[in-house]
Structure 1
């Protein structure tokens, strides 16, 4: 590697040759691949080197087969994609199921269902029901966004510099960007009826999401999400079964007030979020390996 200054370096011919023939050490290969994302010159150099190997011939055959099977317009798009479309495609891929698939309609269904209960069904505790479910919605989004069950190319992506915790955090941010404003706005539109403020769930939801990511480094995303979401629902719903039929939502609202209202409760959630973040950073190397669950 040659260095123009302390921050900028470019690949040498020897480094590129070792990368192309597969003899470059794995950490150096990852570093080079990360550099290629932002250096067109080095990317072109590596591309030419790889094309001269046996792998290059195979890649050319695959490319020709794909272009031959695609319509003419699609072939031109593959050969020379528009920069804006290329960036949009990378963004959608990085966001994962947070903006595609069944997860987004499910979040919309929760919001619309709460509105139907509050105004169409005349349920006075519709906001309480929404606030009880809202903190686990981003947790479910995380479980559906990262792991071998969520991405058919997970093994390939997880081994790349753009994979691991970086990709998990990118998809988590997309999940939060969708669910937090949508569910909070829905809560604002619903009658209060003695429940906590519509935004009171935001810090608990963030803490549960970060806790899920930290726990996932030990047991996998789906198991971690099940543990955190199940724990929350059990905690908030524990007093409800003993309530008289007409007071279920009232009892739920009281329990939510204990969990959400006041500086003490919110401070505890903030501390939980900080501790979960610290544990997640300490467990970051676990995301460099494949999460099997």
Structure 2
């Protein structure tokens, strides 16, 4: 971000719609990363005829039910805008009003169409829609097959221990568990995972806030299920069932921090693949005693105060890096 800011003249002309398109695009690009100029433009718009219309819309929406009020407010806004907009003012990005002075304003047909559209499209939300919106905001991973995969991992560990007498169920579960939330993060954000990513990325809740919201949803699903499964299987010389929690959190935060540089798919591949290589490579190269070797390797990576303290420090460091680079997530995964 440079030290340039929009002048008062630019702000006034942008709010009134008289600024040339190239200059308007430059101002709009600057507003994406400058809250101060955005606040000045918002204040300038509220002082124009459009500001009166927006105030009417806001009062109508806040004073009635959302679905019914939006239809009424939309018709009112278009009706008022047709009578208040001066000839030559910009009516939309890249558009100019071409009506000649004295020409009749097309408020009646436009308003009637708007009211008809609003009556069909802006009906009050059905019961349970709030839960549906919360589930949608939680991200594609929580809505898709990923929770089923988490449940499958947990059940497989329990079934292997209880019915197949597999002694390495807990060590194997502890080795795989930290990768599960990382996979959920990879499936929660980006155009590759969310068909509405471009729309979500343009909302005020986008950026790091949306990333953290969806990450929290992933952790809320995976942590209880995998930890409970760990308690239900024999230890077999492995650390406790909750020993993977700090490493899982640290690796998830590391994926988020690295995503600010290389994107989510590459970041999760690096962190998840690096963890699996570090834990499983020594086991695969061992001669026999794979279960015992896996338990030893998991204990070395997860067990003891020293290892847990290191993971806690890594989590704090990654969280600090996330906070320091939070602006990088405003433009993440948009290409």
Q: What TM-score range do you get, normalising by the shorter chain?
A: 0.7 to 0.9
Which 5+ residue runs of structure 2 have no aligned equivalent? 1-11, 43-53, 63-69, 83-90, 93-106
Structure 1: runs of 5 or more not aligned: 1-13, 68-74
1:77-135 Cα deviation digits (max 9, x unpaired): x61114x6332122111101242111111111111111121122211010111000000
CA distance in 2, matches of 1:157, 1:180: 26
Distance 1:203 1:50, change over 3 A: farther
Which deviates more, 115-124 or 252-261? 115-124
* 8 Å contact from structure 1 (residues 220, 292) kept in 2: no
| Alpha carbons 1:208, 1:228 under 8 Å: kept | yes
What residue is the counterpart of 2:168 in the other structure? 125
Q: Distance in 1 between matches of 2:78 and 2:214?
A: 31
Identify the structure with bigger relative contact order (alpha carbons < 8 Å, sequence gap 6+).
1
Aligned equivalent of 2:124: 80
Instruction: Tell me which residue corresponds to 1:8.
Output: none
Structure-2 change in CA distance of 1:262 and 1:287 (3 Å): same
- TM-score, normalised by the number of residues in structure 2: 0.68
- Quick one: which of 105, 111, 134 aligns to 2:154? 111
Instruction: Give the conservation status (yes or no) of the 8 Å contact 1:258–1:265.
Output: yes
Distance 1:79-1:276 versus aligned 2 partners, 3 A rule: same
Please say which structure displays the higher CA radius of gyration.
Answer: 2
> Residue 263 of structure 2 contacts residue 332 of structure 2 at CA under 8 Å; is this kept in 1?
no
1:167 aligns with 2:210: yes
TM-score, structure 1 normalization:
0.78
Match of 1:278 in 2: 320
The number of residue pairs the alignment matches comes to 260
Which of 242, 247, 253 is equivalent to 2:295?
253
Q: Rate the CA distance shift 1:62–1:144 in 2: closer, same or farther, 3 A.
A: farther
Secondary structure of the equivalent of 1:80? coil
Aligned ranges 1:31-42 → 2 under 5 Å: 41=59
**1:200 and 1:260 in contact (8 A); partners too:** yes
SS at match of 2:190: coil
Whole-angstrom distance in 2 between the partners of 1:194 and 1:205:
20
Partner of 1:136 in structure 2? 179
Deviations 1:217-267 (A, max 9, x none): 10011110000000100111121122233x111101101111111111101
Deviation at 1:63, TM superposition (A): 8.2
Name the SS for the 1:99 alignment partner. Answer: helix
Q: Distance in 1 between matches of 2:77 and 2:140?
A: 35
From 147, 167, 182, give the equivalent of 2:225. Answer: 182
Further displaced range: 115-124 or 167-176? 115-124
- Distance of 1:249 and 1:265 partners within structure 2: 21
Shift of 1:66: 11
Kindly state the Cα deviation for residue 65 of structure 1 after the two structures are TM-superposed: 10
Contact 1:213–1:224 (CA under 8 A) maintained in structure 2: yes
User: In the aligned structure 1, how far is the partner of 2:131 from the partner of 2:206?
Assistant: 18
